[in-house]
Amino acid sequence: MPVIYVPSGKAREYSPLACNIYTSCSHMCRYCYAPHVLQRRAEDYFKTPSPRANVLKYLESELKANAPKKQVMLSFIGDVYAETADNNETTAAALRLFLEYGAPVAILTKGGNRALKDLELFKQFGSRLWVGASLTFMDEAKSRYWESGAATPVERLEALQILKQNGIATFASFEPVIEPAESLDVLEKSLEMDCVDTYKIGKIDSIASINKSVDWTGFLQKCLDMTRPAGKKIYIKSGLRQAAAGVVLTAQEADADWHCVKAGKPEFVPTL
């Protein structure tokens, strides 16, 4: 199986390509889909991640043969800035390979400040890298209940702010939306801090009782009323578009691939 692959289903809305460096995660998210997808028990998945065997060897081989021009997402299985056994060293090494071969990369993480250890490496990508955070709650206690191993909401927002202040393009994923009021609170805080360039907003499907109880039309309209005047780029995921079909969107607000990193020539050739 290739290290760089074409994601399917809902994951495809986030990126045309993806790469999973680790195959477990320490964030302990109660809503996580990965154990089901991997057909693993939760206790076998939620543990300190180690890198995939020979992942850097295979990654370099694929990049050397045919470096992608479309965005590669890190990652859909695990989090490249979870508390890993190798202190995220494989993440940094993989990024150097993507940088060397000119591939555009997006990183989605709940790791907060752990992502900042590679800030100088991020800068070398120029416009060919975006870093994002999943934002679910503003209330820290609720976040700890649902995502006990992840960084706090405030830490995630502050990490995004530092990234943006250092010239890194940032994005936020609002999915799953477990409590709409909490999602709107953290959205408001992110706008106040001006730490997010692009918003990707979805809903929740995995917990039917929550999904059926929410006025998704009202939620989406409030999100747009907050983000549009701020001049932010916005992508509304298909599930939310279908649940709030009466809300009128622009073409770009419904175009997943428009909200992706673009390719470019390598700006730096690192020494591994």
DSSP characters over 48-98:
---BPTTHHHHHHHHHHHH--SS-EEE-SSS-TTS--TTTTHHHHHHHHHH
pLDDT at 117 over 50: yes
pLDDT at 111: 97
Domains located in the chain, CATH noted: 4-259 (3.20.20.70)
CA atoms within 13 A on the CB side of 65: 9
Report the pLDDT value the prediction gives residue 269, as an integer from 0 to 100.
37
Give the model's confidence band at 263: pLDDT under 50 very low, under 70 low, under 90 confident, else very high.
confident
Whether residue 267 has pLDDT greater than 50: no
18-64 pLDDT tens trace: 999 998 898 989 898 887 788 888 888 888 999 999 999 999 999 99
Q: What pLDDT digit, counting tens, does each position of 169-220 carry? A: 999 999 999 999 999 999 999 999 999 999 999 999 877 888 889 999 999 9
User: What is the rounded average pLDDT for all residues in the chain?
Assistant: 93
pLDDT confidence tier of residue 153, bands split at 50, 70 and 90: very high
Q: Which pLDDT belongs to residue 122?
A: 98
